[in-house]
Amino acid sequence: MHHDKEQKKGMPLIGDKFPTVEVKTTHGIMKLPDAYEGKWFVLFSHPADFTPVCTTEFVAFAKKADEFKALGAELIGLSIDQVFSHIKWVEWIADNLDVEINFPIIADHGDFSKEMGMVHPGKASNTVRAVFIIDPAGIIRLIIYYPQEVGRNVNEVLRALKALVTADENKVAMPENWPNNESLSLGSKVIIPPASTVEEAKKRRGQGYDWWFTTKDL
């Protein structure tokens, strides 16, 4: 029996290549991840246009867009709504909340959302509140899922992106709530990869908490 062929393809995981797909957006047809080649991008889905929680999230992403850009990242939204619905919703936000949504929003028919695991089988055609952070090589580096009734923390998405960028640039890891760690009062210190040889472990003794737990300032 050919079990591999019979198995259904599951949702993508951290470390997987972002699938190549052509999508219809409020900024025209785009091919992902090619459109953001060499850049980070943040893809986030919402259950539906013209819903209150989603509106608060989109306003938050729009207000933080410059901070994402400063980290070399672009934003792109998604839901299973037609593109004219997206356009009308963007107009409503601008007219009523005085916030411009300048990033594109994907109008998905459902196939791409299903491939990405963004449609819950028990929630009809609504997409979940998913966040994917994709790196400049097109690799999925972070996935966050929230239920429909709980709005996301856009500051956390921004923090996670900053942590990923910093980790890649400096080959380090980040403690809890970096750069404001309180659990061990590390603040903005970062974690050096553990020693991988006996010799290196000996050199690390007396530094930090132990040879496997050493921190430093950037």
Selecting among 42, 43, 54, 163, the annotated active-site residue is: 54
**Angle formed by the axes of helices 52-63 and 154-170, nearest 10°:** 40
Q: Which helix (H) or strand (E) holds 30?
A: strand 28-32
Distance spanning both ends of the chain, measured CA to CA: 54
For 49-111, give the DSSP string: TT-HHHHHHHHHHHHTHHHHHHTTEEEEEEESS-HHHHHHHHHHHHHHH-----S-EEE--SH
116 is catalytic: no
CA max distance for the chain? 64
- Alpha-carbon dihedral sign for residues 86, 84, 147, 176: negative
Residue 93 · residue 55 · CB < 8 Å: yes
Helix, strand or coil for residue 39?
Answer: coil
DSSP code of residue 24: E
Active site residues: 54
